[in-house]
Structure formats: structure tokens, C-alpha cells
Chain A
């Protein structure tokens, strides 16, 4: 996957540029947690340079608007439905990231997050740069279940893609030292190991439909 140079908006000026790396989704619904798990892995892998904020947005919807209006560049991880093979990673950039209705569905939390983007636009504070790293899910109905294998397999490639996107934005990521001990982005049993340790088997978590 490559980034088309021509489509890119001018770089935010100087070192004051603020960058937000945001993961959204609901970790309780299997592959709907892709965005949050990706940003959790991003935080585990990379030390955020000055000016870069790494945020687990969960399913906050409109309440994320201040994070979006207070950044110059926005990189979002999320589960998307573009009718692709489950486990396909897709990079969507700039104006291709839909903020309005009628566009191709961007995200499974579309109503919520599209509304956030258009609200930011209405406030006149839309990020100068925006990119979405999306993954087509396999299973969204396993309540309490883990990521499926095809989606889990895309976490690592999504980090490489994020690194490339950010590099093109002038942000160089540095990998954390092996064995660095620090609290993760999610705690209290919600980190991916803690959460999946006692995840119920898929039969018990299946909906009735």
C-alpha cells in the first residue's frame, strides 16, 4: 500500500504540529475491537514523540470531538465495512475519509464517528491531515469474544502501515526498548491478554439471531 503524494495536504507548520493516533471500537464484540487493539499494540510498540497523542477512544462517539478539533493530523484505527475479504487492511486518506452521509460507509461506528468529523468541520477545526487504517472484520457477534485470527493477523501490518503514514507526515516513530516495563494503554483486566484469558467460548456468546 502506498501513499499518494499528490493527495496530501500541506504539512502543518513546524514542530508545533499536533498528531493524534486514535483507536475506536467496542472490545466486547470480537472484531469490533480491532481499532482499540491496534492502538493498544501501537502504544506497546512505539514511544510517542513529542506532539503525538495516543488515545483509546472506545465507543465515545460525539464526545471525541474535542480530541479531533485539537489536533492537526489524525490517524484512526477502526473496523470498516467495505465489503472486502475479512482481515483485509485498507488505508483511506484525506477527502476519501467520509465525513458526510451518502459516502461509502467508513466505519462500523459510522454514525458516531462520522458525526464527530462533521461536527469538527462545522466548528471550523477539521484536522489538516487525516488517515484511516481500517480492517474488514470477520465476526462482530461474538459477545465477549476475542479478535478472530484473520483480523488479529492484521494488527502487526497495521502498525507498519501507521508508521509509514506518520513518516510521510514527518513523524518518526521510535520502538520502545525490549523489556521496558510500563502500564499499557488498557488496564484493569481489559488489556488484550487479560481480556482474552477468560473469554467465554463462542457458543455461549452467540446471539440468538
Chain B
């Protein structure tokens, strides 16, 4: 059957069905089903999160000042960004103003997360979709050295270095213990890099794994510990005492200088390793411009990284804020997270129950009542679904929409919006990448574009870390060491009933928490996470979400090796632990692929 979606896709589910379950190397559990035509091109895509969650179930009746700690536990990757979003929601509800230093430190925490998450995503979650590890065994170390030295001044680039890495890798592979490289489709014709580029990338995979630990030390210094750094409603739980020597708890000048040196190292690694690798890899995939998703049609960003404390207006936010719909890049529309008619979640294709499922609910009025029912065309049983019926309910992810539109969120959305706004700090790097690769601006709307935007954003985040660290140090030197405002700490000072919204740009996209507080306790709490936007099922009008859109019309080289599907889905950095929860009853690690 052929269906035309309102958002411009032609779905045809008549061809053979390929089921990938789970999509590996992501946080959480994602299953996709696609229909292929006679030429193995994807003509219908169905993405589903298979376990439910509702943070309000856990938070109702709890102390709003503790909410951040609970939201930090939803997921192992997005911890800090949930915590920041949560404290902002509570501060919004209670009209709490935070000091400038707290704003700078929070920005540093969030930018550190961006830089760290993007780097780890590129090397440890996504690179292996482009890099054939086994091919690296065939590389000539001398030629690899020449390649590395031609693209970067990074010092670890001698023939001997690459020979050592190759030796380690050979021993690893020969022992039959591929370890982190086990879920690959090595040798698939969709891999395009020469052996030398593969070896260089594997070497940097290892270097990045070793280096990333330095970046998170910033979380330990400003957040008190890592994992699970501390946050505070009203500011940051981090005392500053510049004259302190070795004082426990307080951040002194030695600690501030240490953060500065980590920022410099981070920028060096991003600029001399990550970006050159990204460009080198991209140059071999210039004709693989699939996976655009909704990026050329509808994108949204809430914005983040306020220049000024307590000013969350578009003007103050350094990451862009706004929405583009129908591909009209000449107009970036304002968004309002409080307006009940803008952001709404629908459940007509989700395993939840609403009184009237033709209507969406704004998160302040959101409900999460599970309703696991399968459509008449489902194949298999309730506990062992062989094929989903996407005409009915088919996912535990809700379908959020902005003014009725399915939106893509994430680094590419942010950079498309920044580009459309003509902001030079976004437009110029994008143009440089396109010029260097010899690609038109339309190439941006692709899997490759999404991956490139993440790299540019890591670079941007590194530069902003330097900016806010300098700003913080200047403010401290000027005599301001205030980091928290506790005027409204006690619940007696709060209104009997109030509500608020907090937002951030998580590495993977727009994140919002909506809270209602009654008699000092949480009355309702809804989190709409980036993967809920991108991984959403269809809505009552039939619009498909970004994951499904991104798989459309992609040709597969080998249908039972879903490399192209995984490559595109990974480019979103999906986090299903947030949007749903994973249960893998059989603990199966390798993705199960079934062609029907």
C-alpha cells in the first residue's frame, strides 16, 4: 500500500520487510522495520522504542529541589543536561534568580558535556559506521603516517606509532576478541575508506578513549564529583575561594588554572584530531548523501548557553533558538514552550491512553497511562512481535509536535537554524566545510551533514568553554565569588501552587522539563527529550518523525547487513534510555536482522 504523508514522504510497505532489533551501539533499545523495493531501496520505515517510562510516576510527591538528582538517573549519558534542565524548571516555577558566576559555571558544565559527548559519539559510537576496523590491518604504516601528517600537525603520527597500533589491533583481532569492534559488518561494500584512513581512525579511536577522561575532570571540579555531578536549585553547589590552598570543596586559583589547561588540551584535540579526521572521512563519502530526515523541512532548537544569567531570550542564548517549517530557511519562527498550542504530545500511534487521542497534550497537562495494544496486522505475539502494524499503536515513544509539525532536533537542526539566521559563527564554518569538500549547501541535509554539524559544534563548544572560563575568572578577580542564591530555598517562601519550564540543548537536541509544584511538592513532571522528537512514531495526521524520514529512499548494499540504517540512526546520537527504557530479555548483543 502506498501512503502520501502530509510532510512530503511516499511510504510503500509492499516490499520485503527487514527488521533490525536492537539497533546497537546506542544507549537504550531501538527497533526499526523497513520495507525494501526490488532494488533494495528503503520505501517505508517504522521506528519504535519498546519500553515505557514516565518520570512523573517517580517524581510525584517528591521535593522539587531533589528532582535533578532523579532525572540524572534516567540515563547514563545525558546525566548533567537533565539535571540542568530540571533546576532551570524549578527556578522558573519559583522565580529564582541565579548569580552570574553560577551561569558561567553551568555553561561550562554544559559545554563540557557537549564537547565530550560529541567526541565520544564520533569515535566510539559512530566512526565504526564509516571506518572498517579489519581493513586497517592491511594498511601500510608509512603511508598512514604520510596521510596523517598531510591533514594535521598532531604529533602522534610517525610510521612506528601506526605500526604499533596495527600490531595491537592484529593481536586483538587474532585472539578472536574483537571487544568493542564486535558489532561491525566488516568488509561490507558500503565502507569506502582506504586501509590507511581506517588505521588512522582506529589509532584516534584509542587516543580519544584515553583523552576523553581529561575533559570530564571539569565536571569533577565544578560539580564536586563524576559520575553524577552535583547541581543546586538557585546556583551551583561549588564554593569559590581564590585564596584557598588545598581547601576541601572550594574551588581555588589552582583549580581554576587546571580547568583552563584542560580546555586548551580539549581544543587541541578537537582541532587537530577530530575535525581533520571528520573531513578526511567525509571526503570519501561525498556521494553518500542520504539520511536527511526532516532537516531540510522542519527543524527546531530551544537554544542554550545564556550570555547573561537568568536571560533565556533568543538574544542572550548563544546556541540558536527558533523553528523552521516547510523548508523555509528565510524565516526562523519564534517558539514558546509555555503556549499550550505549540508543543503537544500525541499518542494515537503510541502505547498510551488519552481521553481523546485526536488531540495532543501540552507537557504541563501531560499524562502517561500505558496502553499496550497491537494492531490487526501485527505478526507474531504480544511477547514476540515479528512485525509491527504501524497503522495502529506501535511505540512507547510519544509523538511530540510543534504547531502540528514533526520536527528534527539536534546539532544539525541547531546549525541549520544558526545558518538561516545568518549568524557568522555558524554560517562561516558550515560554508568552509562545504567549500573544502566541494559540496553544495543542500549536502548539509544528510547523515553526513548531521555528523559534520556535531563536529563543528564540538569545535564551537571548545571555543565557548574558553570564553566562559575567562569570563568566570575575570568576574572572580573583580571580587564576585557568589555562586548561589538561597533566598527561596525554604518551601515556606514558595507559592502554594506554581508551574515552570526548563530547557537546554542536550548534545542530541532540544530538551524540556515541565513541572507543576503544589504545597511544596511535585504535582506533575514531564520530560520531552530529544529522542522523543526524533524517534517519534506517526501522529494523527500521518506525519512521520525524523528517524523514519531519515531512512527513506536509502539504498542498502546488503539487505541483511543493516549498515546504512545503523549509520543514519547513529548520526542522531539516539538515547533511548531517556525516551524509553531498555529491557533486553535475551541479552543479545549483535543486532538481529530478519528479512521477511
Task: Identify the A interface with B (CB < 8 A).
Answer: 26-29, 55-66, 81, 99-101, 105, 108, 110-112, 115, 118-119, 121-124, 140-141, 143-144, 187-190, 194, 198-200, 204-209
Interface segment out of the listed B65-73, B98-106, B187-195, B323-331 = B65-73
Q: Which residues of B contact A124 (CB under 8 A)?
A: 168
Please state if A28 and B74 are interface contacts (CB–CB under 8 Å). Answer: yes
Q: Is B253 located at the chain interface by the 8 A CB criterion?
A: no
Please state if B62 and A208 are interface contacts (CB–CB under 8 Å). Answer: no
Contacts A118-B177, A200-B58 known; A187 to B69 CB distance under 8 Å? yes
Please state if A58 and B182 are interface contacts (CB–CB under 8 Å). Answer: no
- Chain B 1-55 residues near chain A, CB threshold 8 A: 24, 27, 51-54
A140 in complex: contacting residue of B61, B62, B228, B583, CB < 8 Å: B583
Please state if A122 and B383 are interface contacts (CB–CB under 8 Å). Answer: no
Q: Which residues of B contact A59 (CB under 8 A)?
A: 73, 75-76, 577
Q: For chain B, which range describes its interface: under 10, 10 to 19, 20 to 34, or 35 or more residues?
A: 35 or more
Q: Whole-angstrom distance from the CB of B209 to the nearest CB of chain A?
A: 6
Q: Which residue of B lies closest to A194 (CB)?
A: B66
Please state if A208 and B52 are interface contacts (CB–CB under 8 Å). Answer: yes
Contacts A28-B58, A123-B206, A209-B383 known; A58 to B76 CB distance under 8 Å? yes
B73 in complex: contacting residue of A28, A111, A199, A208, CB < 8 Å: A28
Q: How does the 8 Å CB contact mask read for B394-432 relative to A, with 1 for contact and 0 for none? A: 001000000000000000000000000000000000000
B227 in complex: contacting residue of A29, A64, A118, A204, CB < 8 Å: A64
B209 in complex: contacting residue of A29, A123, A187, CB < 8 Å: A123
Q: Which residues of A contact B351 (CB under 8 A)?
A: 208
Please state if A144 and B57 are interface contacts (CB–CB under 8 Å). Answer: yes
Please state if B180 and A118 are interface contacts (CB–CB under 8 Å). Answer: yes
Give Cα A59 to B522, complex, Å.
25
Please state if A122 and B180 are interface contacts (CB–CB under 8 Å). Answer: yes
Please state if B209 and A189 are interface contacts (CB–CB under 8 Å). Answer: no
Please state if A100 and B73 are interface contacts (CB–CB under 8 Å). Answer: no
Contacts A28-B74, A118-B179, A208-B372 known; A61 to B213 CB distance under 8 Å? no
Give Cα A123 to B75, complex, Å.
26
Give Cα A200 to B210, complex, Å.
41
Contacts A28-B74, A188-B66, A200-B57 known; A123 to B210 CB distance under 8 Å? yes
Please state if B182 and A100 are interface contacts (CB–CB under 8 Å). Answer: yes
Please state if A188 and B179 are interface contacts (CB–CB under 8 Å). Answer: no
- 18 chain-A/chain-B pairs, Cβ below 8 angstroms: A28-B74, A58-B79, A63-B76, A63-B120, A101-B182, A115-B179, A119-B179, A122-B168, A123-B206, A188-B68, A189-B69, A190-B70, A190-B73, A205-B57, A207-B51, A207-B52, A207-B372, A208-B371
Please state if A189 and B52 are interface contacts (CB–CB under 8 Å). Answer: no
Give Cα A58 to B179, complex, Å.
22
Q: Which residues of A contact B583 (CB under 8 A)?
A: 140-141
Q: Which residues of A contact B179 (CB under 8 A)?
A: 99-100, 115, 118-119, 121-122
Q: Whole-angstrom distance from the CB of B20 to the nearest CB of chain A?
A: 16
Q: Whole-angstrom distance from the CB of B24 to the nearest CB of chain A?
A: 7
Q: Whole-angstrom distance from the CB of A175 to the nearest CB of chain B?
A: 24
Q: Whole-angstrom distance from the CB of A144 to the nearest CB of chain B?
A: 4
Chain B at the A interface: SS class: loop
Contacts A65-B209, A118-B177, A140-B583 known; A60 to B66 CB distance under 8 Å? no
Q: Whole-angstrom distance from the CB of B89 to the nearest CB of chain A?
A: 16
Q: Whole-angstrom distance from the CB of B498 to the nearest CB of chain A?
A: 20
- Total of A-B residue pairs, C-beta within 8 Å: 127
Q: Which residues of B contact A205 (CB under 8 A)?
A: 57
A100 in complex: contacting residue of B27, B61, B79, B177, CB < 8 Å: B177
Instruction: List 3 tightest A-B contacts by C-beta distance, closest first.
Output: A118-B179, A208-B372, A189-B66
Q: Whole-angstrom distance from the CB of A78 to the nearest CB of chain B?
A: 13
Give Cα A208 to B370, complex, Å.
6
A66 in complex: contacting residue of B51, B213, B230, CB < 8 Å: B213
Q: Is B163 located at the chain interface by the 8 A CB criterion?
A: no
Q: Is B124 located at the chain interface by the 8 A CB criterion?
A: yes
Q: Is B280 located at the chain interface by the 8 A CB criterion?
A: no
Q: Is B440 located at the chain interface by the 8 A CB criterion?
A: no
Q: Which residue of B lies closest to A122 (CB)?
A: B179
Q: Which residues of B contact A123 (CB under 8 A)?
A: 206, 209-210
Q: Which residues of B contact A141 (CB under 8 A)?
A: 583
Contacts A143-B53, A189-B66 known; A61 to B177 CB distance under 8 Å? no
| Extra pairs beyond A119-B179, A206-B370, A209-B383 (12, CB < 8 Å) | A56-B228, A61-B27, A63-B120, A66-B216, A99-B177, A100-B179, A101-B590, A111-B24, A115-B180, A189-B63, A190-B73, A194-B66
Q: Whole-angstrom distance from the CB of B77 to the nearest CB of chain A?
A: 7
Q: How does the 8 Å CB contact mask read for B552-596 relative to A, with 1 for contact and 0 for none? A: 000000000000000000000000010001010001011000000
Q: Whole-angstrom distance from the CB of A197 to the nearest CB of chain B?
A: 9
Q: Whole-angstrom distance from the CB of A117 to the nearest CB of chain B?
A: 8
Q: Is B490 located at the chain interface by the 8 A CB criterion?
A: no
Give Cα A99 to B564, complex, Å.
28
Give Cα A200 to B525, complex, Å.
15
Give Cα A55 to B371, complex, Å.
38
Q: Which residues of B contact A28 (CB under 8 A)?
A: 58, 70, 73-74
Please state if B73 and A63 are interface contacts (CB–CB under 8 Å). Answer: no
Contacts A58-B76, A58-B227 known; A188 to B182 CB distance under 8 Å? no
Q: Which residues of B contact A110 (CB under 8 A)?
A: 587, 589
Please state if B58 and A61 are interface contacts (CB–CB under 8 Å). Answer: no
Q: Is B477 located at the chain interface by the 8 A CB criterion?
A: no
Please state if A101 and B589 are interface contacts (CB–CB under 8 Å). Answer: yes
A61 in complex: contacting residue of B76, B168, B228, CB < 8 Å: B76
Please state if B589 and A190 are interface contacts (CB–CB under 8 Å). Answer: no
Q: Whole-angstrom distance from the CB of B61 to the nearest CB of chain A?
A: 5
Q: Which residues of A contact B216 (CB under 8 A)?
A: 63, 66
Q: Whole-angstrom distance from the CB of B473 to the nearest CB of chain A?
A: 26
Contacts A26-B73, A62-B124, A144-B57 known; A81 to B372 CB distance under 8 Å? no
Q: How does the 8 Å CB contact mask read for B145-177 relative to A, with 1 for contact and 0 for none? A: 000000000000000000000001000100001
Give Cα A65 to B179, complex, Å.
14
Please state if A65 and B213 are interface contacts (CB–CB under 8 Å). Answer: yes
